[in-house]
Amino acid sequence: MKKYVIDACALLALLRDEQGANIIADALNSANEGQAEIIMHKANLLEVYYDVYRTLGKDKANDVLEKIKERPIMINSEITDDIFNEAGRLKSIYKISFADSFALAQTVVTGGELLTSDHHEFDIIERNEPLIFKWIR
């Protein structure tokens, strides 16, 4: 079964119907059909919530959060030792954001593909780490 990890920019692209939204929608359809599993770390979900809250307010942020919970996205709220160690390693080496370190660590631990558009942060990591990125744009 295909495993995808999504980060905040990927989910925001879907919510805003931006370029690449179709790739996220296709992954969600695959998950609905039982052909894929989609995982998002709660640290990345917080970024989505924060962005919507900041731009559209609390009520809209809460509505978006409820809609996300209806999607076939498994939200991982645990910080296992594997995720903790990998996130710390990646953040230390690449000086990435806290949330990005969780998306990457979740990808490493699950052995999935990271759905993202965050070239600015991740291009160097793609060149230097055995991670699989699925770029949405």
Helices within 6-41 (DSSP H only): 8-15, 21-32
Residue 70 is given by DSSP the state T
Kindly tell me the sign of the dihedral angle through the C-alpha atoms of 137, 50, 91, 25.
Answer: negative
* Residues 27-74 pLDDT 10s: 999 999 999 999 999 999 999 999 999 999 999 999 999 999 999 999
What is the rounded average pLDDT of the residues 5-24? Answer: 97
CA pair distance 40, 9, nearest whole angstrom:
12
The CATH class of 2-135 is: alpha beta
The reported pLDDT for the residue numbered 25 is 98
Give the model's confidence band at 103: pLDDT under 50 very low, under 70 low, under 90 confident, else very high.
Answer: very high
Cβ atoms 87, 104 nearer than 8 A: yes
- For the chain, the structural domain boundaries read 2-135
In sequence order, what are the beta bridge partners of 37? Answer: 3
- pTM exceeds 0.75 for this model: yes
What is the rounded average pLDDT of the residues 93-107? Answer: 97
The reported pLDDT for the residue numbered 36 is 98
